[in-house]
A and B are shown apart, each in its own frame.
Chain A
């Protein structure tokens, strides 16, 4: 409305004025779509106009020889000579990577040209177009130096974000800020990718403006805002898709299975289990378990603004069912968002951001011995899914493999999240140079989890049974058993044991967790250019951050009818003695001051220095606060007069060095605990005392990262080709450990343990390359290619004195710990035996010169690492490095083509050099096998790769010990997204009242190229059964991973 009035005003003005020209025109984008809100300015004056919703403008009072400057954010500014015309149309080309593009650097912004640090920027449009459920999924392959890997492919499953390698055996998560509000990486599910305007990843030392939370990098997410003086623009986007598994394992069919199992039993001198091997194909359990599952997502956004305010309002719905489990493993999300800014007084602006999310996630057991997929891949193909009467079969030939369909039918896990994130920010523009901001951000999440465990019987002896028989008679549990007294009967004293048993009925566990954090920040920005050559910027601020959470959990027994419909504590038997409750709470606080000064000389030399002082409640009293400095500088070579090049338009050399911290070291770990056991008998009764447990350490402090970064940026061919390169060395010191301590500290009473100390260093270094090429062929064919590459070299450089290594992960059942953190090796490298083939003959076994216990022809030949003449299986003397989960190199390739109304895009992600430890095969006599076992050793000369099949109740060979036989190359290339879209001509879309209508078909995870035999090579640190506090040391172990889905979808984007 405003613009129309403005146009009218100019129109009236022009009519009144004599001898001046009236100019009209339309501004469109490269596809011919109208661009509203574009500034059209008469060069050399302050007069101009803004295009209306149809992209049209009217200018009066323009000299016939005027030059119009047509500019719009995100598009290349054009200068057009009027040359006497009265209609001047403009077609703006998108400015893909303008040197003036804004880069967010924390408490302020800079431009690509002036940037001195290393920041990866990704636009929200790019992320949205990839149609991923989570923001971080979309980020994979988009930014150099940012490695995204999947912890679970199930709907709502988590991802791991690693910026420039793994810095610690503790928490490697970066700091994520959404509009300045800290956001948990675990909770990133809640963020709707469509709400995002841009993502900036601070990778180098300049992230130190966030001090003690910046060591793992900082991800700054900005949500969409409206524009001033723009009419409401409404966007609708939606897609519907069908998902299926990216892969099924190549398993044995029933016939192959029977033949191989007979062979294995015979080798061990046991009776073959299958008299008849003509079993046909049998049951394909994967076909039974995997299904096609729908996914859908709908977004509605409205943006606009007046001259004093802007608004951006959005809502979305997304629903994804699982390719395993369907609704039993599903994810549903509602988002609502308001971003509203208004001038509440001259020069005083209030910004209000509110993001609300409601999520519901249902899960099945994943990863490991009890998971659905583990049961699926190991179940016998000779068994049927159901009995003739329709009930599920028991798979009685196994003690610990249950019918996966029965398991899915009886699993009820649901988590609901209500999350509210927001901020109120006041910005006061004191004058042209000073701007003062104060903001209050908050992040509140309520997480409700409900798990129903019905009485269920999976077959005799199964660990997952909650009932003792098919009639669902519950197990009983001894509540109390104690020798109470002696009684005299028949002249003899005998002791009497009193006990009380009750049945363990079905149960429901409900957990309510509340997380709340807030930050209150104020900062002053200064920005002034002196004499057109000295550009000075400064930022001074203060920040308070508080984080707290609590949890209340209760379990109640005896749900009516053994039915999930009644699975609520209110419906349970309130007097059941097994009912119980637990709770916990935590809190931590951070108080910070920060300063950054920036100086630029003639746009040639840039220097920036910053320091942050953080005080945290997580640190010991002797190290309550720390200073985190960083310096960075840049030299724009291309601005020098001696620089003469037709090829290069822009060349800049950057360097930075900074210190940052990682405060995610656990709350109050510096304090001494009272967890010790102090029990002593007085009067022959045990009396419980209190004793010191884990010792305190008032010197405990953050982990510290020192990072050096050098980079060169190039822009060639008139801005068509942009290249950014970076090399970094990142040294993290003071990692947390609990090594042995001197006895005189008193840590070794019952329940005691040594204090946490800072000792241990890790180094990451690598090279990053980002190339963007944009060009057009003819008028209508445009294309862009984006390529990024990241190399990672990770090495542990120090551990505490006396600590040789730290073990992690799990392999097999009962727990060899297969990974290590050790000086000179990457974090979490795989540690085990090397093999050099398969013994072919008895002669080879005896004459090899190396004794290997129980070895027979057909068994794996292990390498005698210590040259001791025998393979030692009882200690580590013959074990060595057999792989590393950390890739040597990751790459992303993004392609986009536009031709007339058509657009095609594709994203490829490549990971090279990462190893995966295969740990989803169950070593049980009758467990099914992968088809590669068909190539087993069957006699001299048959193969030198895969050992013989063998099973025996009395003997054992060593083919199943942790060795490189179980380590596979996990390198892969994955087509993450391909998309074909068509934008209807404006004339047609107008007919339905729309400015733009685009329809598309797309596929995610269309193809994966890998030698890896498991479901999905894109897997990362998951849980660590031996280390609840950290999962870093279980990276790259495939416990039976829920694969990511391949999705085919169709969607549309509609703008009004």
Chain B
């Protein structure tokens, strides 16, 4: 008996020693789904994709800066120190410390990381419909990188996985051309695997992917590729110009035949100034709207991003797009009489004009605080833009096809509800006509600054613009410091 006890005691102790590897501590949290035990069902992929779409909703800032940086508008707002970063961009005095640019930089990479998280796990499960999810995810990554490269030039290219904290310092800035190559690759994958139409409003389509790809080519001055890609959209896509320009930017027109790529917003969820990245409504609308407004049709807002007289003057006489694009507040006020219209002027500046495409309407309010919850979609690429981009590409490519360019241009000009006389010029006169058309057709849509930069006209048009410097924005200094990857600041900053 004693021997038995001793032996069994020895066995117990020995078995202790036997569990010698660290398996014992290799346990996972119970009943908790975290990032390391996700992607177990097709629905998981779908949800992660929705999460990746989410960051597109921060585009209000991209759009805003695209206007303010150009000669189209001034920063406006409550005072010159409110959103100081925007005022600096307006004055071309911006530097590495700029909250708005840092937010943009952070948000785009947050979106990229959410896409990369899907690709990191793409082989975990096989199921029907996965390709569609990966295609949409590819588009999103292409979009986020396009915004980054357009704003900052060379940016670190992180693909298909999440970075650990210790890997950050080894991420160099990737040359813009390589980033563009990846963008095209991602968009091509999306275009190849998505249909022209979707039954779900808001989902990315083949047309959106090809149009963004054409735009990416255009931004690299790859006109032949741009022309070819955009022609495919024009020739094969289901798009047509809207027959009522005046209501094109209203909620009721969302998803109409001119819609190629919209970022979706709804007004059903409230939101606050504490978390812009959480918003489900389009914050630009509330920011743009008329300060201290009391009266019909419109609603009160914050008077940012105010169009300039210079932009108003760009419109040809009798161009009906002027009234749709730009609100002349005093004229409007006079026209409403005897109904009284009141508004105030913010300390950040006043031009008398408001960005009428994205202004809060009394019948399009979101939930409170409705400054930030507009249900109006951001029209990122309209079919008119596709036509004008294609026109430019054909006009500027090495073997120019001005006939086609002219056709596209005049399709936009002479469309029903715009009805401007067709132009009939070629060569550089046509180039100028296209540039003019882009500025008026796309006024207030956040495109003009980048158009000026890529066509080399920025220094002529924008006061304070320095060639060789202001073509891109500075990398936020805090990000250079945090990355500790010896990134060089963009030239001149």
Contact residues of A with B, CB < 8 Å? 344-346, 348, 426, 428, 436, 438, 483, 520, 522, 542, 544, 585-587, 589-591, 615-617, 624-625, 667-668, 671-674, 676-693, 695-699, 740-752, 755, 757, 801-802
Chain B residues 470-492 with CB under 8 Å of chain A are 476, 478-479, 481-484
Expressed in whole angstroms, the Cα–Cα distance for A674 and B102 within the complex equals 24
Determine whether the beta carbon of B51 is less than 8 Å from that of A689. yes
Residues of B within 8 A of A749 (CB): 51, 54-55, 107, 110-111, 113-114, 277
* Contact yes or no, B278 A677, CB < 8 A: yes
Specify which chain A residues have a CB less than 8 angstroms from the CB of B26 in the assembled complex.
617
Interface assignment of B428: CB less than 8 Å from any CB of chain A: no
Evaluate contact between B110 and A680: CB separation under 8 angstroms.
no
Mask for B91-104, Cβ within 8 A of A = 1, else 0? Answer: 00000000000100
List of 9 A-B pairs having minimum Cβ-Cβ separation, nearest first: A746-B113, A678-B51, A689-B50, A691-B51, A672-B35, A749-B110, A689-B51, A748-B106, A680-B53
> Which of A348, A667, A695, A744 has most B Cβ within 10 Å?
A744
Residue of A586, A616, A677, A690 touching B25 (CB-CB under 8 A): A616
Q: Are A802 and B165 in contact (CB under 8 A)?
A: no
Q: Please indicate which of the listed interface residues A344, A590, A672, A697 has the most CB atoms of chain B within 10 Å of its own CB.
A: A672
Q: Is B354 an interface position by the 8 A CB rule?
A: no
| Residue on A nearest B111 in the bound complex, by CB | A749
Residues of A close to B25: CB separation below 8 A: 589-591, 615-617, 624
Q: Return chain A residues, CB-CB under 8 Å to B164.
A: 696-699
Choice from A681, A744, A751 contacting B280 with Cβ under 8 Å: A681
Closest to B375 in A: A684
User: How close is A107's CB to chain B, nearest CB, in angstroms?
Assistant: 14
**Complex Cα gap A691–B46 (Å):** 11
Which residues of chain A are near B332, meaning CB under 8 Å?
none
> In the complex where A683-B200, A683-B202 touch, is A346 in contact with B2 (Cβ < 8 A)?
yes
Q: Are A746 and B162 in contact (CB under 8 A)?
A: yes
Given contacts A438-B9, A678-B114, 10 further A-B contacts (CB under 8 A): A436-B9, A587-B27, A672-B35, A682-B201, A689-B48, A690-B50, A696-B36, A699-B164, A743-B106, A744-B483
Check A687/B50 contact, CB under 8 A, given A697-B165, A750-B275: yes
Segment from B11-19, B294-302, B384-392, B413-421 that makes contact with A: B11-19
How many Å lie between the Cα of A667 and that of B29 in the bound state?
8
Residues from chain B with a CB closer than 8 A to the CB of A750 are 54, 275, 277-278
Contacts of B106 in A (CB 8 A): 743, 748
Residue interface mask B161-197, A partner, CB < 8 A = 1: 0111110100100000000000000000000000000
Task: Provide the residues of chain A in CB contact with B27, threshold 8 Å.
Answer: 587, 589, 617
What sequence of 0s and 1s flags, for each residue 29-63 of chain B, a beta carbon within 8 Å of any chain A beta carbon? 11101111010000010111111111111000000
A305 to B124, CA, bound (A): 64
Cβ–Cβ < 8 Å partners of A676 in chain B: 51, 114
Indicate if the CB atoms of A672 and B34 lie closer than 8 Å.
Answer: yes
Contact partners of A591 in chain B: CB under 8 A: 19, 22, 24-25
Residue of B nearest to A483 (CB): B268
Once bound together, how far apart are the Cα atoms of A677 and B277, in whole Å? Answer: 9
B174 to chain A, nearest CB (A): 11
CB distance from A384 to the nearest CB of B (A): 44
Task: Name 30 A/B residue pairs within 8 A (Cβ), A-sorted.
Answer: A346-B2, A426-B9, A438-B12, A438-B16, A542-B16, A585-B30, A587-B27, A591-B24, A672-B36, A673-B34, A674-B38, A679-B54, A681-B202, A681-B264, A681-B265, A683-B201, A686-B269, A689-B49, A692-B117, A740-B478, A742-B168, A743-B109, A744-B156, A745-B168, A746-B109, A746-B116, A749-B54, A749-B113, A752-B110, A755-B165
Q: Which of B55, B56, B107, B168 contacts A744 (CB 8 A)?
A: B168
Residue pair B13, A747 in contact (C-beta under 8 Å)? no
Contact B38 A743 (CB under 8 A): no
List, in ascending order, chain A residues with CB within 8 A of B266's CB: 681, 684-686
Shortest B139–chain A CB gap in Å is 13
Contacts of B122 in A (CB 8 A): none
A100 to B376 Cα, complex, angstroms: 84
Q: How far is the CB of A380 from chain B (nearest CB, A)?
A: 37
Partner pick for A690 among B51, B113, B165, CB 8 A cutoff: B51
Contact A745 B34, beta carbon cutoff 8 Å: no
Contacts A671-B36, A680-B202, A691-B114 given; indicate if A744 touches B9 (C-beta within 8 A). Answer: no
Chain A CB within 8 A of B203 CB: yes
How far, in Å, is B187 (CB) from chain A's closest CB?
Answer: 19
Contacts A680-B202, A744-B109, A749-B113; A674 near B165 (Cβ below 8 A) = no
Q: Separation in Å of the A590 CB from the closest CB of chain B?
A: 7
Whether B168 and A615, one on each chain, are in contact in the complex, defined by CB atoms closer than 8 angstroms, is no
- Which residues of chain B are near A617, meaning CB under 8 Å? 25-27
A747–B165 Cα distance when bound, in Å, is 11
In the assembled complex, the Cα of A7 lies from the Cα of B482 at a distance in Å of 82
Q: Determine whether the beta carbon of A674 is less than 8 Å from that of B33.
A: yes
Residues of A within 8 A of B476 (CB): 743
Contacts of A685 in B (CB 8 A): 266
Residues of chain A with a CB closer than 8 A to B34's CB: 668, 671-674
Residues on B with C-beta less than 8 A from A587 are 27, 29-30
Return chain A residues, CB-CB under 8 Å to B105: 743
Instruction: Give B410 Cβ to nearest chain A Cβ, in Å.
Output: 35
Q: Is the CB of B479 within 8 A of A746?
A: no
Interface status of B337 (Cβ within 8 A of chain A):
no
B54 contacts A677, C-beta separation under 8 Å: yes
In the bound complex, what is the Cα–Cα distance between A689 and B29 (angstroms)? 22
A742 and B54 within 8 A (CB): no
Interface flag for B339 (CB, 8 Å): no
Q: Does B112 contact A (CB under 8 A)?
A: yes
Complex alpha-carbon distance, A740 and B479, angstroms: 10
| Interfacial chain A residues near B201, Cβ < 8 Å | 682-684
A684 to B268, CA, bound (A): 9
> Closest CB-CB distance, A513 to chain B, in whole Å?
16
Given A674-B38, A750-B275 in contact, is the A625-B24 Cβ separation under 8 Å?
A: no
CB distance from B225 to the nearest CB of A (A): 29
Closest to B29 in A: A668
Cβ of B47 and Cβ of A690 under 8 Å apart? yes
Q: Please measure, in the bound complex, the distance between the C-alpha atom of A686 and the C-alpha atom of B268, giving whole angstroms.
A: 8
Chain B residues, CB < 8 A from A590: 25
Nearest CB in chain A to that of B162: its residue: A746
Decide: A682 and B264 in contact? CB cutoff 8 A: yes
Give A346 to B265 CA distance when docked, in angstroms: 81
Instruction: Kindly list chain A residues whose C-beta atoms are within 8 Å of the C-beta of B109.
Output: 743-746, 748
Q: Which residues of B contact A752 (CB under 8 A)?
A: 110
Asked if A436 and B13 make an inter-chain contact with CB atoms under 8 angstroms apart, the answer reads: yes
CB-CB under 8 A from B111, the residues of chain A are 749
A688 touches B35 (CB 8 A): no
The contact string, 1 if C-beta is below 8 Å from chain A, for chain B 138-176, is 000000000000000000101000111110100100000
CB within 8 Å of A: which B439-493 residues:
476, 478-479, 481-484
Considering the complex, give the chain A residue whose CB is closest to the CB of B113: A746
Cβ of B5 < 8 Å from any Cβ of A? yes
Contacts of B280 in A (CB 8 A): 679, 681, 686
How far apart sit A752 and B106, CA to CA, in the bound complex (Å)? 11
- Whether A688 contacts B277 by the Cβ 8 Å rule is no
The answer to whether A744 and B47 have CB atoms under 8 Å apart is: no
When distances are taken between beta carbons in the complex, the residues of chain B under 8 Å from A692 are 35, 51, 113-114, 117, 162
Contact of A745 with B114 in the complex, beta carbons under 8 Å: no
Q: How far is the CA of A345 from the CA of B31 in the complex (A)?
A: 46
Distance of A680 Cα from B158 Cα, bound (Å): 24
Q: Are B110 and A748 in contact (CB-based, < 8 A)?
A: yes
Q: In the docked arrangement, what's the CA distance between A667 and B28, Å?
A: 10
CA gap between A677 and B52 in the complex, in Å: 10
- CB of A617 to closest CB in B, whole Å: 4
CB of A731, distance to nearest CB on chain B (Å): 23
Given contacts A671-B36, A678-B52, A696-B35, contact A741 B168 (CB under 8 A): yes
Q: Closest A residue to B475 by CB, please name it.
A: A743
Return chain B residues, CB-CB under 8 Å to A589. Answer: 24-25, 27
| In-complex Cβ contact of B50 among A346, A679, A684 (8 A) | A679
Contact of A748 among B24, B33, B107 (CB under 8 A): B107
